[in-house]
């Protein structure tokens, strides 16, 4: 099958978060299965990839009553996967992917997709749209008379692309909201995401538990109504990771490479991690790592609330890397100043530093308020860092408490600082039993969190979308 991804980011061309890893690694997995994936992205200024050739295509994009120009340029994602970049300096001429004017930026991107497909004669069998940035694509394809099967994946329901009626009218979208809803369907809310939920042939989200959680959303929420209306078309599929990309035996960003038979070499990474973050060296003291957006969703409030007790009641040290809301930046940085021998905080995105945290920490902390899937816990286990997580979304699907058979981490349920601290203290206690701890690391490192199973599920979903599209009234 020819599968065309439409997304806001894809590694290594542009990456802000896990979405970039998912789009690129799933595309590679599908290529290994014999399919022909390709991807369409905006061309942000931060994308500096060389063009594969000099081919450039000019297109006209209708934005309300205006007609604006864009150029489509071509490059390579990896492993021969074509990437088509929609270029317009007014909308995409910044280094940042997500800006204050996101609505206009991703509206222009979505409006360009039917024209890009037509002008480049791409002829995909299935289009796979990712998250709210691309959620208008299914209805815009119908409006353009392109009857193509569409799969829409919800990566995080909290982000919807919400706007007001002035935005709707100013950009000529009123007819889309009024004319394209199926008979008897709930009315879509004033957000991009609602159109993807309503109009795509098949819906997926990134873990089975998260699918159940969003179906049980607030009954007064318009998205909740739409999801329950489409519940038979919604499938939860756990994300995978690329085992070649995330491989401690070959990762150049580690101080020392290792595999499941040479786990003792991890100690060199722990030494380097502590040195880089100015923490005292003591092999008997466990080191927790956290690589995260610094936002409420990620449980940062719990970390801050638990900080004094964490220092007083455990031996552990904590290294945090991430960027997000300014008030979390300042409060975490202040905690690092207050407890310099126990806590280190680095504000920013740094892939190399993140890899050393995965490869050097003893435990990996994810106390999320909600977590659609999460890649951090999967990468951590691949690198031998034992997850300490809250039981929600994809964390519940991928991490079982060590008290259970074949358990692989330390799990807590209540969203509270006390519950999180109890899980950390259990991990701290278990760390003292070195033989059992090494056995736990080996079990985690040999688990298969690749795309093997999930890409096969997506193959089934694409076939389901093809079937649904063929039965759709013309």
Name the CATH architecture for the domain at 263-445: 3-Layer(aba) Sandwich (3.40)
pLDDT tens digits along 436-454:
999 999 999 999 999 999 9
Provide the percentage of residues in the chain whose pLDDT is more than 70: 99
Phi-psi region of 145 (alpha: psi -120 to 50; beta: other; left: phi over 0): left
> What average pLDDT does this structure show over 164-183?
89
Q: Report helix, strand or coil for 12.
A: coil
pLDDT of amino acid 53: 52
Res. 71 pLDDT band, cuts 50 70 90: very high
Helix pair 417-431, 434-445: axis angle to 10 deg: 110
pLDDT tens digits along 26-36:
999 999 999 99
Q: Report helix, strand or coil for 30.
A: helix
Could you tell me the sign of the dihedral formed by the alpha carbons of 336, 339, 340, 341, in that order? negative
pLDDT tens digits along 245-284:
999 999 999 999 999 999 999 999 999 999 999 999 999 9
Residues 40 and 3 sit within 8 Å (Cβ to Cβ): no
Other CB atoms closer than 10 Å to residue 255's CB: what's the count?
18
Residues 149 and 173 sit within 8 Å (Cβ to Cβ): no
Asked whether the predicted pLDDT for residue 55 surpasses 80, the reply is no
Res. 54 pLDDT band, cuts 50 70 90: very low
Calpha distance 152→217 (Å, rounded): 19
Query: Parallel, antiparallel, or unpaired for β 363-366 and 287-291?
Result: parallel
Buried b / exposed e over 446-463, threshold 16 CB at 10 Å, is eeebbbeebbeebbebbe
Q: Taking the chain, what is the end-to-end CA distance rounded to the nearest angstrom?
A: 23
> Residue 214 to residues 226, 445, 470: CA-CA distances in angstroms?
11, 31, 28
> What average pLDDT does this structure show over 72-92?
93
pLDDT tens digits along 120-132:
999 999 999 999 9
Calpha distance 127→200 (Å, rounded): 10
Other CB atoms closer than 10 Å to residue 78's CB: what's the count?
17
> Which range has the worst mean pLDDT, 38-52, 233-247, 408-422?
38-52
Res. 217 pLDDT band, cuts 50 70 90: confident
Res. 221 pLDDT band, cuts 50 70 90: confident
Calpha distance 7→17 (Å, rounded): 13
Res. 56 pLDDT band, cuts 50 70 90: low
pLDDT tens digits along 281-317:
999 999 999 999 999 999 999 999 999 999 999 999 9
Asked whether the predicted pLDDT for residue 422 surpasses 90, the reply is yes
pLDDT of amino acid 181: 80
> What average pLDDT does this structure show over 47-64?
78
| Residue matched to tokens 């879509």 | 188
pLDDT tens digits along 340-361:
999 999 999 899 999 999 999 9
Residues 42 and 73 sit within 8 Å (Cβ to Cβ): no
Calpha distance 112→70 (Å, rounded): 8
Other CB atoms closer than 10 Å to residue 183's CB: what's the count?
4
Could you tell me the sign of the dihedral formed by the alpha carbons of 22, 7, 213, 200, in that order? negative
Q: Is 105 exposed, middle or buried (0-12, 13-18, 19+ CB in 10 A)?
A: buried
Virtual torsion, Cα 120, 23, 51, 66, nearest 10 deg: 50
**Looking at the domain that runs over 2-240+452-471, which CATH code has it been given?**
3.40.50.2000
Mean pLDDT of the chain: 94
pLDDT of amino acid 317: 98
- Strands in 363-366's sheet, in edge-to-edge order, are 343-347, 317-322, 287-291, 363-366, 386-390, 410-412
> What average pLDDT does this structure show over 34-52?
90
- The residue ranges of DSSP E strands in 200-342, in sequence order, are 202-205, 234-236, 287-291, 317-322
> Residue 215 to residues 223, 233, 393: CA-CA distances in angstroms?
9, 12, 12
Residue 204 β-bridge partners: 153, 235
What residue segments make up the domains of the chain, in order of their start?
2-240+452-471, 263-445
pLDDT of amino acid 258: 98
């Amino acid at each position: 099958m020819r599968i065309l991804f439409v997304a806001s980011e894809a590694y290594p061309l542009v990456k802000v978060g896990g979405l970039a890893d998912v789009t690129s690694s799933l595309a590679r997995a599908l290529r290994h299965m014999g399919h022909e994936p390709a991807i369409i992205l905006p061309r942000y200024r931060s994308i500096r990839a060389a063009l594969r050739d000099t081919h450039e295509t000019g297109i006209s994009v209708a934005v309300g009553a205006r007609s604006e120009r864009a150029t489509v340029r071509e490059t390579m994602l990896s492993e021969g996967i074509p990437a088509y970049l929609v270029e317009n300096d007014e909308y995409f001429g910044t280094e940042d992917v997500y800006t204050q004017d996101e609505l206009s930026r991703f509206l222009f991107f979505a409006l360009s997709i039917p024209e890009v497909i037509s002008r480049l004669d791409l002829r995909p069998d299935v289009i796979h749209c990712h998250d709210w940035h691309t959620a208008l694509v299914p209805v815009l394809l119908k409006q353009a008379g392109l009857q193509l099967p569409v799969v829409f994946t919800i990566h995080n329901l909290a982000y919807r692309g919400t706007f007001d009626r002035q935005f709707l009218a100013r950009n000529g979208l009123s007819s889309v909201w009024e004319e394209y809803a199926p008979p008897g369907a709930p009315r879509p809310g004033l957000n991009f995401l609602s159109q993807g939920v309503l109009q795509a042939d098949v819906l997926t989200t990134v873990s089975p538990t998260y699918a159940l959680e969003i179906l049980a959303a607030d009954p007064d929420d318009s998205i909740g109504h739409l999801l329950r209306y489409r519940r038979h078309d919604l499938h939860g599929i756990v994300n995978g990771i690329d085992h070649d990309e995330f491989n401690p035996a070959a990762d150049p960003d580690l101080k020392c490479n290792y595999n499941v038979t040479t786990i003792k070499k991890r100690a060199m990474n722990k030494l380097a991690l502590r040195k880089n973050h100015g923490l005292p060296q003591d092999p008997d003291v466990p080191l927790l790592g956290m690589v995260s957006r610094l936002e409420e969703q990620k449980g940062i409030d719990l970390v801050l609330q638990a900080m004094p007790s964490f220092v007083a009641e455990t031996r552990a040290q904590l290294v945090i890397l991430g960027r997000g809301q300014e008030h979390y930046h300042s409060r975490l940085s202040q905690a690092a100043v207050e407890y310099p021998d126990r806590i280190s905080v680095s504000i920013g995105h740094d892939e190399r530093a993140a890899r050393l945290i995965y490869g050097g920490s003893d435990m990996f902390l994810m106390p999320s308020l909600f977590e659609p899937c999460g890649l951090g816990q999967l990468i951590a286990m691949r690198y031998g860092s034992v997850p300490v997580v809250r039981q929600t979304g994809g964390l519940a699907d991928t991490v079982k408490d060590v008290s259970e058979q074949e358990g692989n981490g330390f799990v807590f349920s209540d969203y509270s600082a006390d519950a999180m601290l109890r899980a950390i203290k259990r991990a701290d206690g278990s760390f003292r039993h070195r033989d059992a701890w090494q056995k736990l690391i080996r079990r985690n490192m040999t688990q298969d969190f690749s795309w093997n199973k999930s890409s096969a599920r997506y193959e089934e979903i694409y076939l389901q979308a093809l079937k649904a599209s063929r039965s759709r009234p013309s």
